Structures are given as structure tokens and as C-alpha cells.
Structure 1
């Protein structure tokens, strides 16, 4: 398999020309910032450790900058695009710039949050420049919906990257940190400058690597039950867990009892707990059948 070439990948002139032909102007509503630097694309593919046998799913391919780099390295790429114009144009771009690999590409024209199945073999990797405004919900949805995804590398707003990769005790450790860690070992994998995008965003970007846990969190509680505790604990993060979980448990004394049963101090705060500790609290819910649940994609 050949390595990416400048002829195949999109540069600044090609991106702008393609956008002009399509009448496309990136919109803030959909968090569109197109990568215009081929070296950045190569770096992302290399950092993602894309293998020749990988089936890669990409969310938000846009004009195809990253798609082409992924297609050069992987066995197959499935791109999920919500924008009508971009989705309509992408297959032609792939065919024109990488005809020898076009049969290895598939497009799903849909909102990623609504995707429940993908064409072809199950995906083994997720690599994407995620729209900043929906990055965390989309990431969590894909990890939950496609358990075959072993490795993930996403480019997100630097602040979001910090939150996803934050360890317990960090000032930015929160709901995204715990929920991402439910699925995977998470770490920061680098920074991306603003000038590699068109238009250049007003914020810095970061790469986040997520490697699926070899074994899931050991707990008798369901993911929904654990995530309900996480949401409640961080809804009022300045409060102790005894107070923050009072609504979840039905009362402060009930919350304290559940915490004690889980071996967690009622005076602790959510930012100090691991995902395993949240799971133990969920197991100790006053009533596993009636404890309320919260929206799973809350950031």
C-alpha cells in the first residue's frame, strides 16, 4: 500500500476551490472548520495508528481532507456526514483523487447521533475532526453503539480534550472524563494549531486518544444507572456527594447510606471519584428499579 501523496490529499487551494465550486461556506451552527494542511492529516492518521486491516469510521468528513488520508492507510473508511451538499459531493471527490481506493469508501448521510448501524464490516477504529458543538455526545454515542471500535482518535476543542483526558482530582475532571473512561483508557495525544483550519477557529484544538478497555468496568449496575449517578454528582459539583446525590437517592440520608455502602465518603465530591467508585455507588442505589436516570449525553 502506498503512502499518502500531496497529489491525493487536499491542500489550502484545493479545499477553497472545492468549497467554491460547491457553494459551501463553513457554518458555526454545525461547527465546521475544514483541515487544509496535508501534513496535519498525515500526523492525525499516524497518531491514530491506523492499520492496513482497519475499518475506520469518520464523523464529519466535510470536504474529505482527513477522509483521503484515512483511506490511504486503512482497509475501509465509512464517513458519516449530516450536511446535504457535503455528503453529495464527497464520493465524487474520493473517486477523482483516489480512484484506486474508491471501492473501499462508503458514505452514510445522517446525523451521527441517529446512526445505529454502518454498512460493511464492523468498525475497528474511529478517527474524526469532531464538530466542536457536539463532540462529547457524538463520541459517547459512537463508543456505546459500536463496541467493535477498539481505538479512537478525535480532534476536539482543546478545552474539551483536557476535560476528556482529565484524571480524578483535576479541576476540569467532570462528566465527559468519567463517561469516556467508562469505555476506554483516555489520554491527550497532542495539540493542533489554528492555522491548519479554514476558517481558522477562535480556539485551539487537541487530539484525544481512547483505547477500549480490555475488560469493562466490573459492576452489576447498568451503564444508564452509573451515568445517572455521574450526572447527579456533577450537577452541583461544589456540593458534597451527600448533598449532590440527595435527589438521585430520594433524600440526603438515603444518599449517605448508599455512599457508605459503596465505601465512599459522604463528604467527598464528584471530582475525586473514579468511574469504578461511581459504579459502586450505583450498585448501592436505594432502589435500583426506581432511582431516576439523567440524560446520557450531558456534558
Structure 2
């Protein structure tokens, strides 16, 4: 696109936003009143009214007219509007059927935008991608995720190994910090390892609770997860690797040796200690100090010994 074309496109978007921009307190309240919409606390519904935050989210997704965006939980379409201006194809999945007519109204003039009523946790995402994004060069997930389903949705997106470039989501600030945490800090845990196994995380910005209608009780953050071409570490069995990680954080105040003994059995305590030492890992360390490489070494050694092949009991 030439510089002149970019300026013209930007001008058109600015004119459009001036009259129909959803992400303002006035417009959001008008839409709520027009449709008699009432918020469901059980769905974690909070509508963003800050245009600068929307700009940050869309910019982080690195979209252009050749790419597609999957939006989860579009609400009344504030973010969807911006995505439609940035991407060649936008598909929005909304669980609340009361919002579908609102979205179709708000997005009536947005070409290449599809609204689907459904629960993303129950959808066949590979089929959805095949149907919705066959003609784009890349796809990113962009969403304002309800706090109560953040981890299940993200892990589904990652574990299904979808052809994604980025996942840009607004989530609870503390959860974003855990995803991006490095070994040695109190925020570092099994979620950190799982996310960083698949992605390179970066916190884009923090979002105060005051820029939503209604206001949530906690602040949020926008985090960008850039999908790796291959996982951060090579492991022979991903399921076993993640069970080892889960076991290592089972009781954070306990040493690695104690947590993993509960995982492999007391009768293997001495052999476990020897195995850790042979991998240059002090048995008295805690799980929060281990890198992904060290977790991978432990998992590989356990598999070679035939340990921990059963699921961790909850």
C-alpha cells in the first residue's frame, strides 16, 4: 500500500470512528439502553471504553489486509470494529446469544466480518479455522477474555496447535504477570512454563479497572503471546513433561525432591535424588527456580526410568 493509500485509509477510519465508535462511555451506554441489555456476572461481562487501549491491542496483533483475526467474546463490538479496519477477515465468537443482534447491528457496515454464536471451549477450532481463514496469510487471536475462563481458553488454543501467529488478550493483571514470569520469582509457576513452552510472552500494557462498564474489581493487562515455530524445549512426551511440571509446583514451599517423591513414589526417593544430581539439579531447590530446560531434563530422565507415567492425582 502506498503512502497516499495509507493516509486515505487512515482518514476514512478516523471519519468512521468519529460517528460510530463503540468504545466511548456515551456510545456504550446508548447501546446498552437501546437493547435493554443487562450484564451477566456469571459471564464476566465488562465493556472496554478506552480507545487508546484498543489501539494498543490491535497494534500488537500485527494485522494487515492479508491476515485474519479470531475474536473471542466480542461483547458489543468495540474491539471488533477496530479489527475489521485492520484485518482482511474477522470472525468473532460470542457465547451470549443476547449480544448477537447487537453485534450484527453495530457491525452491519463491516465487510469480511462474521459473528458466530457459540462457546469457544466447545467449538472444533480446527474446523473453524479451515472454514473461516482458508484465504488469509496468517491468523491471530485477539480477545478481552473473562477472568474465569482465561486459562482454559488459552490452553485450548495452544494445545490444539492451531496455525496462529499471535494471541493478544486482555486478562487479569496478575495472570498476565504469571504468564511472563521468569524462574526465581513468586509469580513463576506451572502456567508460566506452559505458556512459555509454546510462546514468547510480552506484557503490552496495563489496563486500569476504571476504563470498563461496569468496572471490574481488579486491574487488567494486555499480553501478547507470539507462537514459537517449535516448542522452547525438545521433550519426548509433552503430556509427561507437563505432569512433571505440575508435580514440581504441587506444594510451592516444598523442595523439588519432596514434590517429585510424591509423584514417583516414596520407594524411589533415593533414586530420584541421584537422578536430579546427575542432571546438575540440587534436590533441595524448589520448582519455582527451574528453567524449562531443567524441567525437560527431569522429564526425559524419568521417562527413561519409567517413572511418573500415570496422571498426577488432584
Q: TM-score when scaled to structure 2?
A: 0.84
Alignment check: 8 A CA contact 1:240 1:266 kept: yes
* Structure 2 residue 189 is matched with structure 1 residue 174: yes
C-alpha change, 1:243 and 1:20, in structure 2 (3 Å) is same
Q: CA RMSD in A?
A: 2.3
* Structure 2 residue 115 is matched with structure 1 residue 107: yes
- SS of the residue corresponding to residue 93 of structure 2 reads strand
For structure 1, which runs of at least 5 residues remain unmatched after alignment?
Answer: none
For structure 2, which runs of at least 5 residues remain unmatched after alignment?
Answer: 1-5
Q: Please name the residue that 1:205 is paired with.
A: 220
Distance 2:118 2:231 in 1: 29
Instruction: Count how many residue pairs are aligned between Structure 1 and Structure 2.
Output: 291
After superposition, residues 38-187 of structure 1 pair within 5 angstroms as 38-95=51-108, 99=109, 101-102=110-111, 104-117=112-125, 118=128, 119-121=131-133, 124-187=139-202
* Structure 2 residue 299 is matched with structure 1 residue 291: no
Q: Deviations over 1:44-75 (max 9, x none)?
A: 21233323322111111111111111111011
Q: TM-score when scaled to structure 1?
A: 0.88
Larger radius of gyration: 2
More helix by share: 2
Distance 1:197 1:169 in 2: 34
Distance 1:210 1:272 in 2: 22
C-alpha change, 1:159 and 1:288, in structure 2 (3 Å) is same
Distance 1:186 1:160 in 2: 12
- SS of the residue corresponding to residue 18 of structure 2 reads coil
* Structure 2 residue 237 is matched with structure 1 residue 222: yes
Q: Deviations over 1:21-45 (max 9, x none)?
A: 3332223221111112233212321
Deviation of 1:290 (Å): 5.9
C-alpha change, 1:108 and 1:246, in structure 2 (3 Å) is farther
Greater CA deviation, 239-248 or 212-221? 212-221
Runs of 4+ more than 4 Å apart: 286-290
Distance 1:115 1:280 in 2: 35
Distance 2:66 2:274 in 1: 50
Distance 2:244 2:123 in 1: 26
Deviation of 1:292 (Å): 2.2
